[in-house]
Each structure stands twice: as structure tokens, then as C-alpha cells.
Amino acid sequence: MALSPWLPAARIKTRRHGSSISACITVTTPTQKVRLGKSSVEVSPVGIGAWSWGDTSYWNEGTWNDRKLRDAKEAFTASVESGLDFFDTAEVYGSKFASGAVNSETLLGRFIKEIKQEEQSKIVVATKFAALPWRFGRGSVVKALKDSLERLNLSSVDLYQLHWPGIWGNEGYLDGLGDAVEQGLVKAVGVSNYKVDRLKRSHDQLKRRGVVLASNQVNYSLIYRKPEENSVKQACDDLGITLIAYSPIAQGILSGKYTPSNPPKGPRGGIYNAGFLSKLSPVLIKLKQLGEKYDKTSTQVALNWLVAQKNVVPIPGAKSAQQAIEIAGALGWNLTADEVEELRDIAKRVSPVVGFPVENL
């Protein structure tokens, strides 16, 4: 996965409450993409995860309002203007099923339609199928995808993924992905939260049909390196499957914003509590030191560390224009090999938090 040359730095402005504000961060814009696995789909080296858009069960402190909607739209616009064209959503994000306020797919579709038409074709959209126990067979995948397309107001998407392994019926779900490709509803297909044995079986089943398994989306960050420990990262590299990293800055924890006396609110506070944040201090200090060396933020350093692992596309969330522009600033420069290893060595001393339980299915 080679990175590209970069265009000159550009300032990006957003509008809020009728007045123009500067994002106050200078970024560079990528001119070349990376390919998802062996598929034809190319994306920016870092994408944007849209989990928080419209969600009230985990994000946004349980509320969704006009201000948060404006912020999300500005995040989308700033991402596009910064050269980040890859957006990942899912049918369950923000859905009523997940106790959300507005479906993330609906918001993303709306945001796409509200930008200039010549820019719309550049957007790369990924969404996901929820492998719920009452969904059976290949037809359930195609039907769910068509419902997602209706919410997105699109005729097709670039990447459709199985969000997690089903308790049963996984072979049928994979057949459904193949059907979606043949029907022209999607350009490429992937899985998410798949461990090595499931990943290899999925790859082989799709290959027999002539369909490429493009990606495996898993929890991966400097302080959650389970994909390295359980050989998922190695399997992706060996099979030519791109690893898409969700929670790449540990849900904001690696930004340095939170401290033992100021842990995150809501469900995240139960995971990244004061005790964990105390133990994380050496990692946060090193991220800050490297950020000062390169005139970057801790977030940008943490994302650059992931990109340095090769064959990895991080998809951090962005809830504002400033966050989106900051994310874009993770590209266009590189940590040294020694710095990459030093960060890993320091992070190894911190016991990881518990991941998404479906990783173990």
C-alpha cells in the first residue's frame, strides 16, 4: 500500500451560525489513493468512520440536536475538502434498533447530495450488514443492502461488509455478498471482526465464485494490537486483504484530551476509566513528544503509527470540521522506523481494554 505525493498545504474554512470560521489547522491534500485488497476500489489512505453521526446510545452523550447535525455535516465537508474521500457507515449506526436518533446512512446520503455534483462521484462509501440471529440466507444480505441504498439515496456502494460473524448462516451471508456483486449493487465486499479461521474460509468461499474479499475491518490501534497478536494482521497481509482499522485512536483516548481526573463521559468512561488512563500516561507523553517534534498532534501521531504498519486504512470518527482536518494532517509525513517501534514497546506495557465480544465468535 504505497502512499502518494502531496499537494501544497491548503487552509479550509467552514461556516457556523452564519459566520465564517477558520479551522486553524493547515493540512495537505492526498493526490493518490490506496487500493482495498485486490479489488478495484481505491480510497484515501485514511478514511472517516460515521458511527457517531446520529447515534445516541454510545456517542453524543445521549442526545442529538441541530448543532450536532451541523457539526457532522461540517465534518463531512471538511473531510472531502481535505482529500479524505472514504466514509464508513453501517445500517445499525444511529438506527432505532440501536436506540439511535437518526440513521448514519441517512445522514451520509444527505451530506453527499448536498455537495457539488462533480464532487459526489469522488466519494467512496462503505456500509455494513448486521448479522442478526433472525436473518437467514443470501437473500437477507441483498435485501438489507437495498434498504441501505435507499437510506443512502445511492444506486450502489463501493464496499459492503458483514459487520460481524453470524451465530449461524455465515455461508449464506457470503453467498449474499457474491449476489450483490453480480447484481451491480456493490463494487467490492468485505467482512468485519473476523478472526483468522473465519477470514480464510470467507476468502476461499468467495474466491471459488470469482469474488475478491477486499477487507477485514477490526479494532486496531497503538494500544489495542489484538490483530497482531491473533495473527489477523498477518493473514490479511498474506491473503492480500486490506485491514480497515476502527477505533484507531481508541475512541479519542490517544488524543490526549482525557486524564485520570477528566475521563470520557458516557459508556466510554466505563472502559477508559481513571485507573486505565493513569497506566496509559507514558504512551500519551510519548505521543505528545513526537507531536512536538513533527509539529503534529497526538491524534496525528497515533494515526501515522497505524499507517506505518502497511496494508492498514484507519477510519477514525470525526464529529466536527476541526477533527476532520486534524485527521487529514496524519498524512504527508512519516515517523521513523525507530519511533514506530519505540511507541509499540511503550504501549506493550499497558494492558489492553476488552474489545468487541464478536471478535471471538
> The CATH number of the domain where 95 resides is what?
3.20.20.100
Whether 196 is covered by a domain: the verdict is yes
Q: Is residue 245 part of a domain?
A: yes
pLDDT on residue 351: 85
Residue 75 included in any domain: yes
Q: Is residue 299 part of a domain?
A: no
Domains of the chain: total: 1
Asked if 193 and 218 count as a contact pair (C-beta separation under 8 A), the reply is yes
Q: For residue range 54-68, what is the model confidence (pLDDT) as tens digits?
A: 988 888 888 899 999
Is the pLDDT at 150 greater than 70? The verdict is: yes
What is the pLDDT, as a whole number, of residue 68? 94
Range of the domain at 319: 34-252+306-336
The answer to whether the CB of 7 falls within 8 A of the CB of 159 is no
* Residue 222, number of CB atoms within 10 A of its CB: 25
- 175/204 Cα distance (integer angstroms): 12
Range with lowest mean pLDDT among 19-23, 94-98, 301-305: 19-23
Average pLDDT over residues 106-133: 95
**What sign does the CA torsion over 66, 265, 221, 51 have?**
negative
Q: What is the pLDDT of residue 168?
A: 87
Alpha-carbon distance of 103 to 152, in angstroms, equals: 10
Q: Where are the alpha helices (DSSP H) in 214-352?
A: 226-229, 232-239, 267-271, 274-294, 298-307, 321-328, 337-347
Residue 303 burial class via C-beta count within 10 angstroms: exposed 0-12, middle 13-18, buried 19 and up: buried
* Residue 345 within a domain: no
Closest by CA position to 233, among listed 128, 311, 304: 311
Instruction: Tell me what the mean pLDDT of segment 222-250 comes to.
Output: 97
Residue 126 pLDDT > 70: yes
For residue 221, count other CB atoms closer than 10 A to its CB: 25
What pLDDT, on a 0 to 100 scale, did the predictor assign at position 6?
33
Average pLDDT over residues 273-280: 94
Q: Which of 93, 173, 224, 258 is catalytic?
A: 93
Tell me which residue of 232, 254, 332, 249 sits closest to 27, measured CA to CA: 332
Gap between the Cα atoms of 302 and 343, Å rounded: 9
Reported as a single tens digit per residue, the pLDDT across 337-351 is 999 999 999 999 998
Closest to 293 (Cα-Cα) out of 324, 347, 336, 349? 336
Q: Is residue 83 part of a domain?
A: yes
- Report pLDDT for 10: 39
Of 61 and 209, the one with more pLDDT: 209
- For the residues 84-88, what does the mean pLDDT come to? 98
Whether 16 maps to a domain, the answer reads: no
Could you tell me the pLDDT band of residue 11, with boundaries at 50, 70 and 90?
very low
Is residue 93 annotated as a catalytic residue, yes or no? yes
Averaged pLDDT of the chain = 90
Using CB atoms within 10 Å of the CB of residue 336, give its burial: 0 to 12 exposed, 13 to 18 middle, 19+ buried: exposed
